Amino acid sequence: MVTTAHVPQQGFTRRHSLAMLASSLVLAACHGKGDEAVLKVASQKGGTKSLFLAAGVLEDMPYRIEWAEFPAAQHLLEALGSGAVDVGLVGDAPFQFAYQSGSPIKAITAHRASPRPSEALAIIVQDKSPFRTLTDLRGRSVATTRGSVGHYLVLRALDQAGLPLDSIRFSWLAPGDAKAAFDSGAVDAWSIWVPYLAAARIEHARILADGHDLVQGYGFEVANEAAIARKRSLLADFAGREARALAWLSAHRADYAAVLARETGLPLDIARITADKNVRRPVPMDAQVIADQQLVLDTFRRAGDVRSPRALADAFLDIRAA
């Protein structure tokens, strides 16, 4: 884990004054509570950490952030469920999959891609592959991570094409292993997201089905229930900083890409594509968001991948409204 450094103030503005006031209130809330003055934040492939660094929202931190990086949402959610980390950003499909599996977590903020980008999530095949449609993949293997947005995309694509769920064979692999299998030809297709998708496209991949019209573009900051109980003020402050960072990102994608490349080791061209696909905006955690998530849950349930009766509405708690 990497601990953030404090960033010195540059000038004194009304914005800084308000930020200092809010920070002092958070600091008072966590003063003298040891671990409760530390927020353990999970980041996928450097995404959240790079965004916060690039946007400069780590100034005047009244608590310490410890960052942990994960290659995919499933690994991040496992850490969240165990309490190894307090909060982390994931897509709606892996969140629903983990929550319905009984994980002690809740979504505390909601974001949505605006507009929903193409080529941010796709089912891909090799450039020279004979497969041109999803129907061509009947009986073939598709690599993805179980419970991921890639898994969800395949289920939605099969439904849209009117194909039965057993039309393809899933090969459950983490992104790194899936890339190796895809490159070697051990699997016929790969359902994957950026930055992995961007790299594959540049190297030798062709899109068979895009997620633009099949996924809703939601992401959630998800927190462990114990962290919500003990670090509520820290989580609310973190959510506010993230909202400011996302507002900054819409006009500073190149700056974000540069930091993302430096933090993760991604080639700059891949980081730029990833930045372009990562523009999203906070949305209220309202009845519409919850209703939209019913499609995600129903899709997994029809496939037999989720059998839990946990109430959908209980998965959400707006930390900034509470």
Answer whether residue 1 shows pLDDT above 60. no
- 306-315 CB burial, b ≥16 within 10 A, e <16: beeeeebeeb
Q: Write the pLDDT tens digit of every residue in 42-74.
A: 999 879 999 999 999 998 899 999 999 999 999
Q: What is the pLDDT of residue 115?
A: 67
Give residue 217's pLDDT band: very low, low, confident or very high (50, 70, 90).
very high
CB 271 within 8 A of CB 277: no
Strand partners, 231: none
* Radius of gyration of the chain from its Cα atoms, rounded to whole angstroms: 20
Q: CA triplet 122, 78, 76: central angle to 5 degrees? A: 50
Q: Write the pLDDT tens digit of every residue in 184-203.
A: 999 999 999 999 999 999 99
Residue with tokens 């037999």: 304
Q: Among 3.30.1330.10, 3.40.50.300, 3.40.190.10, 3.40.50.1370, name the CATH number for the domain at 2-116+216-315.
A: 3.40.190.10
Domains 2-116+216-315 and 121-210 share a fold: yes
Q: What is the pLDDT of residue 273?
A: 93
The token pair at 170 is: 């899933």
Q: What is the pLDDT of residue 45?
A: 85
Give residue 136's pLDDT band: very low, low, confident or very high (50, 70, 90).
very high
- Number of helices (H) and strands (E) in the chain: give both, helices first: 12, 12
Q: Of 105, 92, 141, which is closest to residue 229 (Cα–Cα)?
A: 105
Comparison of pLDDT for 309 and 128, the residue scoring more: 128
Domain boundaries, the chain: 2-116+216-315, 121-210
Superfamily of chain region 121-210:
Periplasmic binding protein-like II (3.40.190.10)
DSSP one-letter string for 45-56: TTHHHHHHHHHT
The token pair at 277 is: 């696909």
Percent of the chain with pLDDT over 90: 81
Strands (E) located in 114-253:
121-126, 141-144, 169-172, 189-193, 205-210, 218-224
Strand partners, 41: 67, 87
The token pair at 175 is: 């992104």
